[in-house]
Chains A and B, each alone.
Chain A
Amino acid sequence: DTAVSQTPKYLVTQMGNDKSIKCEQNLGHDTMYWYKQDSKKFLKIMFSYNNKELIINETVPNRFSPKSPDKAHLNLHINSLELGDSAVYFCASSPGPTNEKLFFGSGTQLSVL
């Protein structure tokens, strides 16, 4: 069983559309994250939730809205997609917010045309 699974793996869409990426972890972890990896492979934290509560919210446009229905799920909804949103988005989890070992999903490659 995949520990951290995210869907879809690939997402191609037009500018202006709204899309969602789903993430689920079956590790029993309390903390989940969304990272964005740009075309140069640079990884940046976007959000972090601990037990369904938002604990990290980096400077991300408010078109991006994370939602955590329970601590095993952290979904990412993006409104009014822009060309610059094209990237690979990684979900991750850890036992707690200060735990240093993150478990990553395999990524969602978003292409905005």
Chain B
Amino acid sequence: NAGVTQTPKFQVLKTGQSMTLQCAQDMNHEYMSWYRQDPGMGLRLIHYSVGAGITDQGEVPNGYNVSRSTTEDFPLRLLSAAPSQTSVYFCASSHRQVIYNEQFFGPGTRLTVL
């Protein structure tokens, strides 16, 4: 299993540009989520999904869109990038129903918005 994969690893955008961060998992996990991590801070939840076709907002959803058309993929779209979105983005997945549903994290995407 590849686990949770994210692309790209690094990205530089100009203010106002749009882009999509990709996340995929091959563990048949129902639950997937996106977090951002700013320097010296923990992770904050952006959006999450409990299954294909179902998404919901987390703590900091503004400026981001998500969709979940398949179990495997959960892309995060930045509609119009702003410098405040400079951060490291982590995707995570887990089984939904198992009580010991450890979340597995991807390697992260480091995004800089100029």
A and B: interacting chains:
no
Binding site for B on A (CB under 8 A): none
Binding site for A on B (CB under 8 A): none
